[in-house]
Structure 1
């Protein structure tokens, strides 16, 4: 049937050029149509293999981010042989709606964090139920949610982009800590605010940076790997840098910071990657729940940090807001400028800028609450979450529109 179809589609002028006799015309048409059909079939198979190879080489989280929605649409629109949707199609449609709802909640994370902080500021009693035990559980679930977006095999992808990954890692743990120290001195912050600002500047990149990078049309694979690398390195880097830089303001328990960081960062991330590697069906079941849980956790923990010192923040809130804004503005700016100076492409530079500018502020809130005596130390960390979320979202929108206009031109 395929051969007959290709013969019928053979252009008429080609048939006349094939020979002079009627039988010869048919044989020539058959010969040309057959080879045209085989060439088309072979090229289709080659393109399919290339696409499949490229698809399989991507980290699992990136395959899901870029191709998940298209796959769901294709499956949801599938029609069975009797013209009716199957039960499986209905289940896939329900799951796609559930995933879309979770994505909508996650995309609006700056709004939820802002609402949490405003609630903590205006009605501190709303967070009286948040105990240290709930705080530890929330941050552990957030880090576990990041871990299940990775597999142990994905980490090997880092070797395919060593220059980008090294540049981003170096800027993450140099630009932000130095900026935190300089902003603290420039604004002459009180010791407790300075310690909190420096602490959050020494934290790893935040998981929300992956979403912002995707919106900004950056290098999402690099974003995921940078977040994973900086998070794993935070076990050593965050306590070390905090002790060195914030130690001049307040006493810093470096050993306690190291232990807590291992408990709430390293172990959950590795556990999540292990589950995704060896129990993918379980991860597929729970993964749509994790982004909304993470967003809700960040909003509650930041609101709780604000609520504990609401009166003092109302008196000096402008100073904290200015300090956090300057910190993250410098991270976004210098992250892009320095990475461009190394000769990286624009997509990678946008990614590094977002990774450097956006911190894991909720980790700073947890560490400040547990290891610093003054509750005001956690305030810059909470305000930081609002600032980098808003700045990152605005910057991603600007970059996305600029890319769209360039493509149209």
Structure 2
């Protein structure tokens, strides 16, 4: 039952977003909950991880290094050029860059499972990029938009440390000591994460309700292009390095699916509510595209 609800995440996100667009007053008062909700999501990620998960880095260092390089080079670069191509405003450009500069999203692990990719490898890639994002994301943001708007990179680094690293670490520690109890309830943590991210998306849609109609088409096209570049680029470049189909699928999913919740939080905290909109819409879209791709790949033989 819980797995069925989790898999249908894109549907719940779309339905709740429509509700929040029609009746923004339902959610705008919960704006202050965005950061606590993301902290909770990162805690839920950490509590599903074991110390052994980190040992996988030593087993496949090359493909993990390749994925990390693609994550932090291809995605922000694509975000920048796509934003310029669709002539997005400065606020939306900031939001797109933040989406491109953050780590891989935890939803990629679910999509990897559905696509019959390498789930263990996907989890490891997410862990590595998440930890690196603490330092990399603020300075990538500074590099791409520092000439356009002020970017408090040092303050962003501390925020990511508090929002990402500490809750993940607490989750890992709790899992280490209470693994038998927690292991049986991992689906519950996944469900709570889904509910939290859907609520974050709804709040951002509600806050930006009066602006969405005028920017929806160009922003949506930009987000779709950005996501496709990540998925396609990840697969093709991995294939060019001689990896098998299962590994290529894993890399494509990991590169194309971002921790857009973190992008939303950073945008709200350091830039503007409008800058948070690309992250909110990307959260919906990358799960839709990922689910479609997973459905296609799951029927193919590797």
TM-score range for the pair, normalised by the shorter chain length: over 0.9
Q: Which residue of 2 aligns with 1:298?
A: 197
CA drift of 1:283 comes to: 1.9
Q: Is 2:24 the partner of 1:124?
A: yes
For 2:97 and 2:221, the matched residues in 1 are separated by 14
Secondary structure of 1:129 counterpart: helix
Kept in 1, the 8 Å contact 2:20–2:206? The answer is yes
CA drift of 1:206 comes to: 0.7
CA drift of 1:155 comes to: 0.4
Q: Would you say how many aligned residue pairs link Structure 1 and Structure 2? A: 302
Q: Which residue of 2 aligns with 1:323?
A: 222
Normalised to the residue count of structure 2, the TM-score between the two structures is: 0.96
Q: What is the CA deviation profile of residues 206-262 of structure 1, one whole-angstrom value per residue up to 9, with x for unaligned ones?
A: 111001001111111110000010111110111110111122332211122111111
Q: Which residue of 2 aligns with 1:336?
A: 235
Secondary structure of 2:30 counterpart: coil
Q: Which residue of 2 aligns with 1:167?
A: 66
Q: Which residue of 2 aligns with 1:267?
A: 166
Mind listing any 5+ residue stretches in structure 1 that lack a counterpart? 1-100
The within-5 A match list for 1:82-97 is none
The within-5 A match list for 1:77-226 is 101-132=1-32, 134-226=33-125
Q: What is the CA deviation profile of residues 344-367 of structure 1, one whole-angstrom value per residue up to 9, with x for unaligned ones?
A: 111011000000000011111111
Which of these two proteins has the greater Rg computed from alpha carbons? 1
Kept in 2, the 8 Å contact 1:213–1:396? The answer is yes
Q: What is the CA deviation profile of residues 364-384 of structure 1, one whole-angstrom value per residue up to 9, with x for unaligned ones?
A: 111111111x31111111111
Q: What is the CA deviation profile of residues 54-95 of structure 1, one whole-angstrom value per residue up to 9, with x for unaligned ones?
A: xxxxxxxxxxxxxxxxxxxxxxxxxxxxxxxxxxxxxxxxxx
For 1:249 and 1:386, the matched residues in 2 are separated by 28
For 2:113 and 2:185, the matched residues in 1 are separated by 22
Q: What is the CA deviation profile of residues 142-186 of structure 1, one whole-angstrom value per residue up to 9, with x for unaligned ones?
A: 111111221122201211111211111111111101100110111
CA drift of 1:340 comes to: 0.6
For 2:294 and 2:23, the matched residues in 1 are separated by 32
Q: Which residue of 1 aligns with 2:274?
A: 376
Secondary structure of 2:51 counterpart: coil
Mind listing any 5+ residue stretches in structure 2 that lack a counterpart? none
Determine which of 292, 295, 300 is the counterpart of 1:397: 295
Secondary structure of 1:343 counterpart: coil
Secondary structure of 1:120 counterpart: helix
CA drift of 1:286 comes to: 4.5
Normalised to the residue count of structure 1, the TM-score between the two structures is: 0.72
Kept in 2, the 8 Å contact 1:194–1:249? The answer is no
Q: Is 2:143 the partner of 1:244?
A: yes
Secondary structure of 1:402 counterpart: coil
For 2:147 and 2:4, the matched residues in 1 are separated by 43
Kept in 1, the 8 Å contact 2:31–2:203? The answer is no
Q: 1:398 to 1:299 in 2, by over 3 A?
A: same
Q: 1:284 to 1:221 in 2, by over 3 A?
A: closer
Kept in 1, the 8 Å contact 2:48–2:183? The answer is no
For 2:187 and 2:114, the matched residues in 1 are separated by 19
For 2:203 and 2:268, the matched residues in 1 are separated by 10
CA drift of 1:394 comes to: 0.5
| Structure possessing the higher relative contact order (Cα contacts under 8 Å, 6 or more residues apart) | 2
For 2:183 and 2:112, the matched residues in 1 are separated by 23
Compute the RMSD of aligned alpha carbons.
1.3
Kept in 1, the 8 Å contact 2:28–2:207? The answer is no
